[in-house]
């Protein structure tokens, strides 16, 4: 039970990290200090997608589920509903590149706007 809870918690963290990497620049519009946390996140997420790397959280999730006696990602609410968002069906190399480029372009746009409209002190 503990391994399954740990795997579910890690999966939730993984999703929140992805959401932060994709849209965290919007939070940085309001909370400027988040830029220093968001920039490394968006760079990492873009590099993972553009290079086809496997995020280290993925094998850790699988390992935790195996330690819980699970096969794959079935069995819990979090795994059932969040996994398709993190690991969409039909994820090809081309789709990964498109997603990575989109994340990078979206955030470059947000940070360009932030830079152009920064307050001069």
pLDDT tens per residue, range 61-88: 888 988 988 765 545 545 556 667 777 7
**Burial track 97-108 (b if 16+ CB lie within 10 A, e otherwise):** eebbeebbeebe
Give the model's confidence band at 105: pLDDT under 50 very low, under 70 low, under 90 confident, else very high. Answer: very high
Q: In terms of pTM, does the model score above 0.85?
A: no
Query: Shortest CA distance to 110 belongs to which of 18, 19, 42?
Result: 42
What is d(CA 88, CA 17) in angstroms, rounded to the nearest whole number? 16
Q: Are 45 and 22 in contact (CB under 8 A)?
A: yes
The H-assigned helical ranges of the chain are 2-30, 35-51, 57-67, 77-86, 93-116
């Amino acid at each position: 039970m503990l391994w399954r809870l740990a795997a579910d918690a890690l999966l939730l963290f993984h999703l929140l990290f992805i959401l932060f990497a994709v849209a965290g620049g919007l939070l940085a519009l309001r909370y400027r200090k988040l830029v220093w946390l968001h920039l490394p996140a968006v760079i990492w997420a873009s590099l993972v997608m553009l290079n086809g790397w496997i995020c280290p959280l993925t094998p850790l999730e699988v390992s935790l589920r195996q330690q819980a006696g699970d096969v794959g990602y079935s069995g819990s609410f979090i795994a059932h509903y969040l996994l398709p968002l993190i690991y969409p069906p039909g994820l090809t190399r081309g789709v990964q590149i498109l997603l990575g480029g989109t994340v990078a372009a979206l955030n470059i746009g947000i940070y360009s706007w932030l830079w152009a409209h920064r307050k001069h002190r």
